[in-house]
Amino acid sequence: MKVTLDRQPFNEFWANCMLNQAYSIAVSAHPSYRYAAYLNIHRYYPWSAATDQQFRYPTIDTLYYLDDWTKFPLTGVIKWIEPGHFRDKEKFIDEIKEVLDGGRNLSVNVDLFYWLPGSMAWKKFHWYHYSLFNGYDNERSSFYVIDDTLAGYSEHEVPEDRLRKAFKNSEYNINKNYNGPAYYIYNLHPTIKPYELNLSEVVDNAERLTRELDDFSMEGMWQVDSSPDKYSAHITYALIGINIICNRHIANEGLIRTLREQKQINVTLYESLKDQLEMICDGWHAIKQSFVTHKFQRDREIALAEKLFAMEKTFWRTLASGV
């Protein structure tokens, strides 16, 4: 027997594992929620590496989805995200099938070291996250999950044995101090309210981002240790942050394009914003390439990042003042 929820991966851009799975669920339920994914409710954030708290790098965080779901733009489709624990860890496979049989959206804590071949962490890093399940096939003894690898965000088939190992070694099972659940269930509203992009909300966030970028500092960022035991991990973490920034600018392009398509901004403003955004994107891709090719020069990349933040302030200021 094969069961599928027919959720389509939201792979227009990458935010993080929890957000992309929430967008996948929401956009599959109603296509208007792709516009909610574009909404500029993000902020720049100085992140510390999971395996080395001394290494800090810039990335982007999204507001509300962790601390105030009522303000998050997916509330019209996802009623609440319900944490849960398996009744019997030895029979967790059966419980996953039970949830999927009920047509409910389930995300389970796993160790990425054992999870998906071709991912950044596969057989390299014991990183932990929640993976979205999209169905199962009893005849093949496998599950279908929506998750990311280096090839992108898509559906993957996971053999049952691999699932057992990845869950057994998950943070939920090995870290006694971990307070998170074994899984989350995304509970949907019985009637889905279409999403409408609100220009005033976009402008409010543009003004907030302008203020926050004034205060954001690159001090202490990207201090890559050249020692063999740290260099590779530091480069990897830096690239994770840069990749999220690059992807957010893909979302920004979707945001201004949608505002123009919906005639919420005029052609002149759209063209100005588009030209500014292209230059910002080119700059971040140049920084990304310096890390990928190991030609990274900290002072040079820091200076370019600070220039790009100044350009982005102008971008958001142009949007806020031009409507």
Question: What is the spatial distance between Cα 47 and Cα 44, in angstroms, rounded to a whole number?
Answer: 9
Paired residues of 159 in beta bridges: 142
What pLDDT does residue 248 have? 98
Residues 87, 218, single domain; the answer is no
pLDDT given at position 51: 79
- What is the structure's pLDDT at 19? 95
Do 95 and 231 reside in the same domain of the chain? no
7 and 125 assigned to the same domain: yes
User: Can you give the pLDDT at residue 118?
Assistant: 96
CA distances from 189 to 59, 65, 97, 193 (A): 32, 17, 22, 9
The pLDDT score that the predictor gives to residue 201 is 97
Q: How far apart are CA 208 and CA 125, in angstroms?
A: 36
pLDDT at 92 (0 to 100): 98
Residues 148 and 217 in one domain: no
108/33 same-domain check: yes
Query: Which of 137, 155, 188 marks a domain boundary?
Result: 188
Please indicate, yes or no, whether residues 233 and 175 belong to a single structural domain of this protein.
no
| Residue ending a domain, choose from 130, 157, 188 | 188
Q: What are the pLDDT tens digits along the chain (323 aa)?
A: 899 998 999 999 999 999 999 999 999 999 999 999 999 999 999 999 877 899 999 999 999 887 888 889 999 999 999 999 999 999 999 999 999 999 999 999 999 999 999 999 999 989 999 999 999 999 999 999 999 999 999 999 999 999 999 999 999 999 999 999 999 999 999 999 999 999 999 999 999 999 999 999 999 999 999 999 899 999 999 999 999 999 999 999 999 999 999 999 999 999 999 999 999 999 999 999 999 999 999 999 999 999 999 999 999 999 999 98
User: Distances from the Cα of 118 to the Cαs of 152, 183, 191, in angstroms?
Assistant: 10, 24, 38
Query: Are residues 206 and 316 located together in one domain of the fold?
Result: yes
Count of domains forming the chain: 2
Give the pLDDT confidence score for residue 323 in this predicted structure: 85
CATH number reported for the structural domain that contains residue 128 in this entry: 3.90.70
Q: What is the CA angle 232-238-240, rounded to 5?
A: 100
| Closest of 232, 228, 122, 102 to residue 166, by C-alpha | 122
Residues 180 and 153 in one domain: yes
For residue 149, the enclosing domain spans 2-38+78-188
